[in-house]
Structure 1
């Protein structure tokens, strides 16, 4: 009965979404407050209904109700409880329910925390959110209903995909969807502003926190997905330029550009039209990622759908929302004021250059991702665009960003002093290059260009520190005064520094693991040993083991350095009972920021087994840098200025009268 109630609740949610799609918009057009007030109440009600429906589906998975087709296809009575919960979204239907739940959540959050928004903008934005909700509710109910019953009910389920039976499934998709769907708020604000014809600094102030929140979640989601693939698939890589990976990376690039563009618009009332276009494009890329994963055009562990009707339905959603938003933009943009002017050498100029490079890089990734699909659809020819293309084009485009980023915060608004910024950063650049050379020497050589990559990463980290250093006046004023200045800086200044430093740490990890990693692929028999990364790995042999729903053969390895044994590690070949599907469980040892990675291959006829061993120097910097970037987003979100509406005239006047705070900005 709970399943039927969950289904009917979803139908009721569709009815509420249709009402929200129409009534508030009409109320905003005719300035009818009662009709506009439907938006916040209806958005909260919509979230409650969707949450109940999602809870009903979760209940079916937890109790292993195999009379529900979705549970039967994606669960098993022996699956551990944590994977019964995460398995709810480990399939197409459930993942779309999670998407819808997060979409309804963001609508409710706008309704609850958007009290300072103008009534018309709030009503229009929530209506646009309801349009999106209506489309995805129809998609779920018509093509991807998770509440379909089976009669008679099977005695046992088919089991969850063994690759998905990992804690990563519980973390990665929710974080990724919070990022994907979070950009829907920016999209809705952009469309609402175009409908209303109002676009000013206050609009950017309202949009920026939602952009920052979505960007933070998406950063964490991409990082978690990368690490999950790294340790779960047993291939030793952290990024493959898979089309599904690219589908999440492109909104991140566009969202990063949007974040910086909104900052320029808020501070200088410039780049208005560009910021609105970025808000539309960022969510459009999120929708395109949904299409790629669920249309059946891709074959991937991420790709759930095989029914062409689903792809056609989502393609229609893409055409309606992306095409409609861009058409509205083309109609309204010429009527909007472009905003203020600024000198090329200024903080605005640095942010614009940052925007241009990020958007071109995003376009490059988009081209490399879609070109093989379009070519196959038009001509039937199959080609592969892989890592060499992306590494070359994307790497060359992003290299200037690594140099430009530290300069931006040190330039003044409207008109900056490039020579002054150079004078502040030449010491940082010198230290970065010197440390890179020392690192290159300690690692006993490698690609010479690695020195430049390491120097660029260190330049980002030290440049972020230098920004705070000069703002506080350390070395120029007394220590207590410098401390007060540092403590008085807005939290967004610390958040910016953390984000830039985090990018630098990630760059350091990428360069180090690419240039200095070591790999051994050998056949080992019990008692044999090999060397990697300065460690000796001894193979003791294979031992059988049994888990709750799998059996495995585990390889035991002892790791020593010199005469001393420092650790042991297990690597396994696992077979899940229900599907008889094999997986590889890599053995990973962490030494500081580096890792020793051991993966088993196939056994040989002479009693040996193929073993792949990687030494990954400083690889944890890749994901550690992403965590630092996300921490920067959280710190910036805690800034009070991002939690309020547009400042009133008195507050603005008081702010201009505070020279210390103005200097800090």
Structure 2
């Protein structure tokens, strides 16, 4: 009975969303306060109804109600509780229900935190947000119903994909969806502003916290996915330029550009047209990612579905929202005339360059991701675009971005002085080059990639720190530190986020340049050396897990006479899914990771083993978390939360 009630609640939420899409929009156009006020209870009702549906589906997974087809196809009684819960979104139908729940959550959040918004703009934002919800409610109810019953309940289920039975993958999709769907709010603000004929400094201030929140969630989601790929897939990498990885990375790049361009709109009343376009494209790339994951047009280990009919439905959603918004964007070009001018050397120019580099790098990733599909459809050729292309085409833009970042932060608004900004950075440049030379000497000149990463990492982190220090003004150290502590949280958040980017750049370059790898067949009791470490295969035994059988090795590693490390890599076999997974054993450290994978038994009685020594591996994810923490710190800035001082006179709409 609960399942049927949940299905009915989802249908009712669909009806409420249709009403919310129409009534407040008419009310804003006619100036009818009552019709505009309808948006608030409608958005809250959507959240309650969709939340109830999601809670019922989660309950069905927890109690193993195999009369529900979705539970039967993605759960099992022996599965641990965490993976019963994560099984709710570890499939196509459940993940789409999570998607619409987050859509409803963001819509309700606009009600809760939108008290400072003009009444008409708020009504239009909620109406546009509801239109996105309507499209996805229709998608679920007509093509992907999660509440389908089986005529006869089986005794047990078919289990969840073993690759998804992992803590990293349990939390990765919700964070990623919060980022994907969060960009729907920036889209709603952009379309509502175009309809209203108002794009000004106030709008820039209002859209920034929604963009920042979505960017933070995307950062955490991408980092969790990368971390999972590193330790779960057993290949020792952190990024493979897989189509689904790229599908999440493109909106991250565009939302980062949007975040910076919105600052220019707020501060200088310029870049309005570009900022609106980025807001539209950011959500467009989110929808494109949904299409890639669920249509089956591109092959990926992350893909949820292989259903062309669903892919066509999502492509239709993408066409309607992206095409409609871009048409409106063209029609309302007069609304977005720039009010402020700025010099070639200024912070505005640096932010424009920042936007160009981020947008072009996203376009490069888009071309590399979609080109195999274009080649097959247009030329009948099957080809693949792999890491060599992305590494060669994408990296130069990130290098330029890292070089520009500290200099741009020190330039003044409107008209900057290049010499004045350059002088404080001279000492930092010398220090960065000295650190690069030191690492080049330590690693015996094996690669220029590592020292280049050190140079850029120190440059970006040092530039972020220097920017904060220069904001403290003049005086002795104690006075300046006191002023730094009193700086707005937005300034602190920017510093932490930029420093996190520098840390990640260093980690990627160091791990790629200096990692050591060894692959061999090892007998039990054998000892071998990789770099400065010795490894001994002590034993291999069969271990029974809750819903799998494991071949577990015990490996002891030691550096000279130092403390030994015991690692237990596994090869798991899930009986229900009839699928094997590799569980790497990793000893994490600040300066390096020891990474061991056990392979299949060999005919001579030994075992295949792969060993990596990965310098500074954890700096990659540590930097990503710093970026996310910086975003959270900025979100706590009162100026962002309440849009203090953002209200200015509305611009005259285009005739």
TM range (shorter): over 0.9
Alpha-carbon displacement from aligned partner over 1:518-567 (angstroms, at most 9, x marks no partner): 00011111111222241111111211101110111101100111134421
> 1:252 and 2:246 equivalent?
no
**Deviation per CA, 1:46-91, whole angstroms, max 9, x where unpaired?**
0110000000110110000000000000000110111000110000
Aligned equivalent of 1:552: 550
The farther-off stretch of 272-281 and 527-536 is 527-536
Q: Give RMSD over aligned pairs.
A: 1.2
* d(CA) in 1 for partners of 2:335, 2:212: 28
Secondary structure in structure 2 of the residue aligned to 1:160: coil
Point out the more displaced range, 346-355 or 563-572.
Answer: 563-572
Please, which moves more after superposition, 618-627 or 562-571? 562-571
* Residue number in structure 1 paired with 2:582: 584
Flag structure 2 segments of 5+ consecutive residues without an equivalent. 649-655
Q: How far apart are the structure 1 equivalents of 2:589 and 2:98?
A: 37
Instruction: Report Cα offsets for 1:407-454 as digits up to 9, x if no partner.
Output: 122111001111111100010111111112112222232212432221
Find the counterpart in structure 1 of residue 51 from structure 2. 51
Extract structure 1 runs of 4+ deviating beyond 3 A. none
What CA distance in whole angstroms lies between the structure 2 residues aligned with 1:322 and 1:296?
A: 21
Cα distance in structure 1, aligned partners of 2:440 and 2:616? 13
Q: CA deviation at 1:301?
A: 2.6
Aligned pairs for 1:122-133 (under 5 A) are 122-133=122-133
Question: Quick one: which of 604, 609, 626 aligns to 1:606?
Answer: 604
Distance between the aligned counterparts of 1:580 and 1:371, measured in 2?
Answer: 34
- Aligned-partner SS, 2:568: strand
Over 3 Å counting, the alpha-carbon distance change for 1:346 and 1:57 in structure 2 is same
* Equivalent position of 2:30 in the other structure: 30
Contact 1:202 1:646 in 2 (8 A): no
CA drift of 1:352 comes to 0.4
Which is worse superposed, 206-215 or 586-595?
Answer: 586-595
Q: Given that residues 164 and 170 in structure 2 are in contact (C-alpha distance below 8 angstroms), is that contact kept between their aligned partners in structure 1?
A: no
CA contact (8 A) 1:271 1:339 kept: no
Aligned pair 1:149/2:168, yes or no? no
Question: What corresponds to 1:647 in structure 2?
Answer: 645
1:338 deviates by: 2.5
1:635 aligns with 2:633: yes
Residues 65 and 591 of structure 1, relative CA distance in 2, 3 Å threshold: same
Give the secondary-structure state (helix, strand or coil) at the position aligned to 1:558.
strand
Distance in 2 (alpha carbons) for counterparts of 1:114 and 1:149: 40
In structure 2, C-alpha distance between the alignment counterparts of 1:443 and 1:541, rounded to whole Å: 34
- The SS at the match of 1:602 is strand
- In the aligned structure 2, how far is the partner of 1:469 from the partner of 1:437? 26
**Counterpart of 1:562?**
560
| Structure 1 gaps, min length 5 | 651-665
Cα distance between partner residues in 1 of 2:638 and 2:562 = 54
Residue in structure 1 matched with residue 164 of structure 2 by the alignment: 164
* Whole-angstrom CA distance in 1 between matches of 2:259 and 2:344: 20
Matched residues in 1 for 2:561 and 2:591: separation? 23
Of stretches 12-21 and 480-489 in structure 1, the one that deviates more from structure 2 is: 480-489
Q: Equivalent residue of 1:406, what SS?
A: helix
C-alpha separation between the residues in 1 aligned to 2:476 and 2:589?
41
Pick one of 507, 511, 531 that aligns with 1:509: 507
Whole-Å Cα distance in 1 between the matches of residues 452 and 318 of structure 2?
42
Distance 1:63 1:335 in 2: 55
Shift of 1:303: 1.0
Mean Cα deviation higher: 445-454 or 338-347: 445-454
CA distance in 2, matches of 1:488, 1:565: 45
**Alignment-derived partner of residue 242 in structure 1:** 242
For the residue of structure 2 that corresponds to 1:597, the secondary structure is strand
Counterpart Cα distance in 2 of 1:254 and 1:345:
24
Within-5 A mapping of 1:68-147: 68-147=68-147
The DSSP-based 3-state class of the residue aligned with 1:108 is helix
SS of the aligned residue for 1:513 comes to helix
Residue number in structure 2 paired with 1:497: 495
For 1:359 and 1:298, the matched residues in 2 are separated by: 23
Residue 569 (structure 2) aligns with: 571
| 1:340-396 residue CA offsets vs partner (Å, 9 max, x unmatched) | 110111111100000011101110000000111111122331111110110011011
Q: Residue 160 of structure 2: SS of its match in structure 1?
A: coil
How do 1:266-281 and structure 2 match up within 5 A? 266-281=266-281
Distance (Å, rounded) in 2 between the aligned partners of 1:372 and 1:184: 28
SS of the aligned residue for 2:332 comes to helix
* Correspondence for 1:210: 210
**Rounded Cα–Cα distance in structure 2 between residues aligned with 1:617 and 1:26:** 60
Q: How far is 1:332 from its partner?
A: 0.8
Moved more, 190-199 or 436-445: 436-445
Where 1:343 maps in the other structure, the secondary structure is coil
Please give the secondary structure, in 2, of the residue aligned with 1:54.
helix
Residue 577 of structure 1 and its aligned partner are, at CA, apart by 1.7
**Separation in structure 2 between the aligned mates of residue 385 and residue 55 of structure 1, nearest angstrom:** 41
Any conservation in 2 of the 1:525–1:541 contact (CA below 8 Å)? Answer: no
Quote the Cα distance in structure 2 between the aligned partners of 1:222 and 1:320.
27
Correspondence 1:450 to 2:447: no
Alpha-carbon separation, structure 2, partners of 1:492 and 1:570: 44
1:591 CA drift (Å): 2.5
SS in structure 2 of the partner of residue 45 of structure 1: helix
Instruction: Note the C-alpha offset of 1:462.
Output: 0.8
User: Aligned-pair distance for 1:648?
Assistant: 7.0
Asked if 1:328 corresponds to 2:332, the answer is no
